[in-house]
Structure 1
Amino acid sequence: MIFLKNHMELPKQDVRYIDTRFDLTNPEWGEETYYKDHVQGAIYWHLEEHLSDMTRIEGRHPAPTKEQMTKLIQVSGLTYDDAIVVYDQGNAPFAARAALLLLWAGFKNISIAREGYGKLREVLPIEGGVVWVPTSNVQLTFEDAYLATQDDVKHQIMSEKPLIDARSNDRYKGIHEPIDSVAGHIPTAINIDWEQLKTEDGLMTQDESAKLFKNLSKQTAIITYCGSGVTAAPLTLALLENDFLNTRLYSGSYSDWILNNHVETSK
């Protein structure tokens, strides 16, 4: 299970750090920043080069294939015995995206540095440049229950089970749509803006986020989505942390749904 942890709570031994800093408006920023300085020993995962398959058409940031994820894990030298800490710039969705894909790939011991890199650099050794790691030959056992497809969403609607839209309320209602060609939301979806998870100290702890889900049943299957499967990742993990264990992320999300399906608005 994922745990969003303060810097003092993170594992101390046999730790592998993954830097996922990114800027959706400047895709080169995160990697350039990583080269300047990062946690000692950290590898870098790029949202669009490593955590997405940009050759596919299922939305703006389709999930990588199992073959691509296996190659990434092996090239990164990761094994199931590692304690993995993922971080981004803080109050961002990129570490959560990586962590959710690691869950999908069968990893169990994953932490997100909820305060982001700014706090880590105050307490951990920092270096620049590129980190070399030996490859691994781990064979992954994927947990498909963490990711949902468009067909899963259609079944969710027919069975009247919850869909949660993690975008802003204006985008959910169809009042303002700055990115996608069609405004609105997937039919029957409710709205919980993922940005409610942000605090001055980083993403909410489990106790803090519990209040966002007080009207949901832990016995019901839930599917989350956003625009492209990125910003819904922290909301998905917050639900899992709060024992909504039958929660999946629609990896194609709204940008995939609108290719072939109708939407609703709440103007």
Structure 2
Amino acid sequence: MHPLISTEALASALNGAEPPVVLDVRWRLGGPPGRQDYEVGHVPGAVYVDLDTELSSAPGAGGRHPLPEPAALQAVLRAAGVREGHPVVAYDGGDGSVAARAWWLLRWSGHSEVSVLDGGFAAWTAEGRPVNAETPTPIPGDIVVRPGAMPVLDADEAAAFAREGTLLDARAPERYRGETEPIDPRAGHIPGALNAPTSGHTSDGRWLPATALAERFQSIGVSPERPVAAYCGSGVTASSVVLALEVAGITTPDAPAPLYAGSWSQWSSDPTRPADCV
């Protein structure tokens, strides 16, 4: 299943005999909670899943958004109606950088039938597609979470990638350069990492074509001769870098880019780990 789905394709699928499970993953750093937006209106049949409490474990040594425990994630996905072998579509407010977390977690769980809605809820509503405020009660799913289908790095492995491969930092350029740090303990970036802000994956909220994404990554310094991995502030938006690398054809579903799940929130909380500012 392609990692992106168009609004037209989703609308058609929702009218089909076996519509996909749709997950609403709207979220903003610093709030307000995405559920408020969901309750005002959402794609018909969509189930809200909370990034902070359902797609992450509690903040701690693993960073601000550690990966959820498999059993807890399985319970959340089953409650949303996710079934083995059945397609899932995730969307957020617009550019897919948050919905990509749900995409990545499902892939990590061994569920390959998942896509992110290109343009998200903003594109859906801009096209005048149907929206309602009804909260569905899905038939419970039967997905079995089998973690490990997507590679994960720890801090030492991320440092090695920055030295021996290509480690991409998905945060905004000013955070990468260390000019500002609004939430994590220290400013800067992992030494040797290259900046690949998620804002560059899209134009007007829509994902760039595969060729344009490939050219962008090449201009940043990604080379087919060197393995590539990604991190961000807390392991959320870096999921969209993993997705973009696959869309660009730089990686494949069978050999995806690893994700440093703890990301800068974990790295910067350890005073023994260096930080570069440029």
- Same fold per superposition (TM over 0.5): yes
RMSD: 2.1
Q: Distance in 1 between matches of 2:201 and 2:141?
A: 35
Aligned to 2:21: 16
Q: Distance in 2 between matches of 1:8 and 1:191?
A: 33
Aligned to 2:263: 253
Amino acid of the structure 1 residue aligned with 2:6: N
Aligned pair in 2 of structure 1 residues 201, 53: CA closer, same or farther (>3 Å)?
closer
Aligned to 1:170: 174
Structure 1 residue 239 corresponds to structure 2 residue 249? no
Structure 1 residue 43 corresponds to structure 2 residue 47? yes
Structure 1 residue 32 corresponds to structure 2 residue 43? no
Report if aligned partners of 1:210, 1:242 keep a CA contact under 8 Å in 2.
Answer: yes
SS of structure 2 residue aligned to 1:119: helix
Q: Distance in 2 between matches of 1:4 and 1:65?
A: 26
Aligned to 2:201: 197
SS of structure 1 residue aligned to 2:214: helix
TM superposition shift of 1:147: 2.6
Q: Which shows bigger deviation, 168-177 or 222-231?
A: 168-177
Aligned to 2:78: 74
Report if aligned partners of 2:95, 2:207 keep a CA contact under 8 Å in 1.
Answer: yes
Instruction: Report the TM-score when normalising by structure 1.
Output: 0.90
Aligned to 1:148: 153
Aligned pair in 2 of structure 1 residues 192, 55: CA closer, same or farther (>3 Å)?
closer
Aligned to 1:220: 226
Q: Which shows bigger deviation, 1-10 or 31-40?
A: 1-10
Q: Distance in 2 between matches of 1:2 and 1:150?
A: 30
Aligned to 2:275: 264
Report if aligned partners of 1:5, 1:205 keep a CA contact under 8 Å in 2.
Answer: no
TM superposition shift of 1:114: 1.2
TM superposition shift of 1:111: 1.7
Structure 1 residue 3 corresponds to structure 2 residue 3? yes
Q: Distance in 2 between matches of 1:149 and 1:124?
A: 42
**Match for residue 61 of structure 1 among 65, 71, 84:** 65
Gapped regions of structure 2 (runs ≥ 5): none
TM superposition shift of 1:219: 5.0
What whole-Å deviation, never above 9, does each CA across 1:63-116 have from its counterpart, x for those lacking one? Answer: 112122111122222112211111111125211111111111111121211111
- Percentage identity across aligned positions? 30
1:69-148 aligned within 5 A: 69-121=73-125, 122=127, 124-148=129-153
TM superposition shift of 1:133: 1.0
Aligned to 2:188: 184
Amino acid of the structure 2 residue aligned with 1:237: L
What whole-Å deviation, never above 9, does each CA across 1:211-254 have from its counterpart, x for those lacking one? Answer: 11124233532220111112222122101222323401111101
What is the number of residues matched between the two proteins?
265
